[in-house]
Amino acid sequence: MDETRWGALDWGTYAYSFGHRLVVIRKVRGYSQEVLAERSGLHRNQISNLERGTSNRAPHVADPLLSTVYRLAGALGVPPAYLLPDLRESVATASFEQSSPAELSAVEEALRDLLERRTD
């Protein structure tokens, strides 16, 4: 990981957590990557890269702009916080959501529950 850019933070784990959340919400909404790209004004390849936590630029780890997070949240009809990992914890070296398959499953379940309860 690029310590000159992210310090001791294992940004890749956060990028993958963000991507995982994006995939779950997109699928719950029933959107393809193409539909989400159209709704958000982003390119489908950018959606794909964000979902995989990758970038075409070195160091090849997704690092979305805040405006991108808000555009995606608006297109998905969710608060931006739904896309951001580990909001209830102090920032750790690595995203807790990536610590185990059980944690990833818990995130999916929590997001689905939140989305089912939202009526707006």
Per residue in 32-81, pLDDT tens?
999 999 999 999 999 999 999 999 888 889 999 999 999 999 999 999 99
CATH number at residue 100: 1.10.260.40
- Residue 53 counted as domain residue: yes
At residue 92, the pLDDT reads 87
- Write phi, then psi, for 61 (nearest 5 degrees): -120, 130
Q: How far is CA 69 from CA 4, 40, 48, 86, in A?
A: 24, 10, 14, 15
Kindly report the pTM of this predicted structure. 0.87
At residue 89, the pLDDT reads 81
- Residue 37 counted as domain residue: yes
Each residue of 93-110: pLDDT tens digit?
889 888 899 998 999 999
Cα–Cα distance measured from residue 31 to residue 1, given in angstroms and rounded to the nearest whole number? 32
Identify the bridge partners of residue 61 per DSSP, sorted by sequence position.
Answer: 54
User: What's the pLDDT band for 119 if we cut at 50, 70, 90?
Assistant: low
Task: Quote the percentage of the chain above a pLDDT of 70.
Answer: 92
Provide the token pair at 80: 């931006």
What domain range includes position 109?
Answer: 10-114
Cα–Cα distance measured from residue 84 to residue 9, given in angstroms and rounded to the nearest whole number? 16
- Residue 3 counted as domain residue: no
Number of domains in the chain: 1
Top pLDDT among 80 and 87 is at: 80
- Residue 4 counted as domain residue: no
- Residue 5 counted as domain residue: no
